[in-house]
Amino acid sequence: MQQDRGEKRNYDKADMPQNPKEWKKWKKEKKAETRKWKEQRLIQKLEKVQAQKQEEEENSKKVQQETSKVQQTLSIALPGSILDNAQSPELRTYLAGQIARAAVIFNVNEIIIFDETGSLDRSVEGDYQGVGKKGHANVQMARILQYLECPQYLRKSFFPQHKDLQYAGILNPLDSPHHMRADDNCQYREGVVLDKPVKTGKGSFANVGLLK
């Protein structure tokens, strides 16, 4: 008597023949049934594994096709004079932070700050000398946006103290994907090599935002 799949195969004693010859024949038939039953189970397992493997391969192909598509870049251009509408240095900083936050939410890849006065100076290495000075708002906005784009653990290395960043403490974090926390697991991290003494042949220390 064959049981359901996964259950033990038990036979009723009343079904077992008493004659030795018939009993041998019956036993041989039951062994053949058991062997066939095991083969069927093995085939079902192999078919299931093969189906899972095929599904994984199809999913992998879909991912590769999606990643192989041409990635479009979203860029926006803003006049630096936007900051001139703010009434205080704190509000200027906060306004630039809100612009950065909106750009992150809408997946903007690039922000271009242009000068409405028609200046051809493309450098952001300038000094902010007051709210009413033309052109300095461009430099300040660019510096604040660069500061926010940089991961928190690298800001001290790349941004020394500056008047444009005097109120950077009121800025909200962007939580961008590349802003890794210490407990985040990731194969790659942005970092900076530190100027610390190391033993000969031991490489260098790098700050990648981890505790150790």
Listed by start position, the domains of the chain span 75-170
- How far is the C-alpha of 23 from the C-alpha of 210, rounded, in Å? 74
Q: Look up the CATH architecture of domain 75-170.
A: 3-Layer(aba) Sandwich (3.40)
- How far is the C-alpha of 142 from the C-alpha of 147, rounded, in Å? 9
What pTM was estimated for this model as a whole? 0.58
Q: pLDDT by residue for the chain (212 residues), tens digit each?
A: 444 444 445 555 556 666 777 777 778 888 888 888 999 999 999 999 999 999 988 888 887 777 666 578 899 999 988 998 898 999 999 999 999 999 999 989 999 998 887 655 555 566 544 434 445 888 899 999 999 999 988 898 899 898 889 999 899 888 888 888 888 888 888 888 888 887 887 888 888 888 76
- How far is the C-alpha of 151 from the C-alpha of 176, rounded, in Å? 9
